[in-house]
Amino acid sequence: MMAEAFERAARRPRVRDDLAAMTGYHSPQVSVEVRLNTNEAPTAPPEAFAKAVADAAVGLDWHRYPDRSATELRTVLGERFGFGPEQVFCANGSNEVLQTLLLTYAGPGRRTLTFEPTYALHRHLARVTGSEPVMVERSDDFRLDPTVATEAVAEHRPAITFLCSPNNPTGMVEPAETVEAVLAAVEAVGGLLVVDEAYGEFSSWSAVDLVAENRSMVVTKTFSKTWAMAGARLGYSFGPSWLVADLDTVVLPYHLDSLKQAAGVAALALVDEMEARVSHIVEERGRIAAELHRLGCEVWPSGANFVLFRPEPGADAGSGRSVWQQLVDRSILVRDTSSWERLDGCLRVTVGTSGENSRFLAALADILDNR
């Protein structure tokens, strides 16, 4: 029996050589009372949303395939942002939008460019799709020097250049001048600029205004954060119609189910509720940042729904991990980024409810007072 088992194992297919040593993208979960580690919305959508989705579920033709083009959802999204449905692409979370962009314009023999530290899934998906990821470092304060960025584009000639704004995990927002400079450099080498705005609604400005039919640029967004729909896995993007047409030829048929499309339409009917939620999160973000400063932490400016901070300026990874564990011991979970490259000793906290934020701040103050 043992010999047969080894023989069967030997006949198994092997993972691609370029993926064999890779690990997946994960955010470990711990059972706690206050969960502030995955940048989710702190509260559920309003009851009107749940009722609208339930009513839609009753009326769906479940025995029929969904609208492959997600026509109604694309139309409503386009109307909100000033685009036609032919300039809107929807998928199962903004991560699938990113993956489809890579499958369409990158892949074997082509490069992607990221500015680190940034969202790890950009380079992870690049590798998964067979692209060669090129990483260029940001400055010491995590800002992106436009000259460094444009020179990197000219040197590496990437098929896709990623800008995450607000940036994850730092929360910092790229100025419009930087985005425009990088876009010009990208177009000069025949590439595509992807601006990831998963947290865009919490920011002071949006690159959506730069999207045009004659520009090689796309902006990706998600319902997970702003619309409190992380459980739905629904993302979208705005770009020129030729780009959307290219994506439609690559994405799997009927990839977006009928209920998910209905949920997106239902959410877009509740703009006032969404904007109130965003305003509350932005206000709480300011309170958290101010208190972290008062406690003597090193804090980075954030335009997102989270704040990156180093509990003890100059501390190493072990110190950050210690604070993280002490928070967990108090049933509070934040993201441990203390061992990430260039983020020694740092933690990232998602903006929660007012009560959750107060509990986090009180616990952190107690921990730091006793060190």
Per-residue HEC secondary structure of the chain comes to CHHHHHHHHHCCCCCCCCCCCCCCCCCCCCCCCEEECCCCCCCCCCHHHHHHHHHHHHHCCCCCCCCCCCHHHHHHHHHHHCCCHHHEEEECHHHHHHHHHHHHHCCCCCEEEEEECCCHHHHHHHHHCCCEEEEEECCCCCCCCHHHHHHHHHHHCCCEEEEECCCCCCCCCCCHHHHHHHHHHHHHCCCEEEEECCCHHHCCCCHHHHCCCCCCEEEEEECCCCCCCHHHCCEEEECCHHHHHHHHHHCCCCCCCHHHHHHHHHHHCCHHHHHHHHHHHHHHHHHHHHHHHHCCCEECCCCCCEEEEECCCCCCHHHHHHHHHHHHHCCEEEEECCCCCCCCCCEEEECCCHHHHHHHHHHHHHHHHCC
Tell me, what's the pLDDT at 1? 58
Going from N- to C-terminal start, the domains of the chain cover 28-45+272-369, 47-269
- Report the alpha-carbon distance of residue 278 to residue 179 in Å, rounded: 24
The pLDDT assigned to 24 comes to 62
Residue with structure tokens 């990208």?
186
At residue 262, the pLDDT reads 98
DSSP lists the bridge partners of residue 298 as 310
Topology at the third CATH level for domain 47-269: Aspartate Aminotransferase; domain 2 (3.40.640)
The whole-model pTM stands at: 0.93
Q: Superfamily for 28-45+272-369? A: Aspartate Aminotransferase, domain 1 (3.90.1150.10)
| pLDDT score for 30 | 84
* Cβ proximity of 345 and 315 under 8 Å: yes
- For position 8, what pLDDT does the model report? 62
Residue 264 corresponds to which tokens in the numbers above? 């997106």
At residue 25, the pLDDT reads 60
Given this model, what pLDDT does residue 5 score? 60
Per-residue pLDDT of the chain (371 residues), as tens digits, is 566 665 665 678 887 777 766 666 666 678 899 999 999 999 999 999 999 999 999 999 999 999 999 999 999 999 999 999 999 999 999 999 999 999 999 999 999 999 999 999 999 999 999 999 999 999 999 999 999 999 999 999 999 999 999 999 999 999 999 999 999 999 999 999 999 999 999 999 999 999 999 999 999 999 999 999 999 999 999 999 999 999 999 999 999 999 999 999 999 999 999 999 999 999 999 999 999 999 999 999 999 999 999 998 877 768 899 999 999 999 999 999 999 999 999 999 999 999 999 999 999 999 999 87
Q: What is the predicted pLDDT for the residue at 3?
A: 61
pLDDT of residue 17: 75
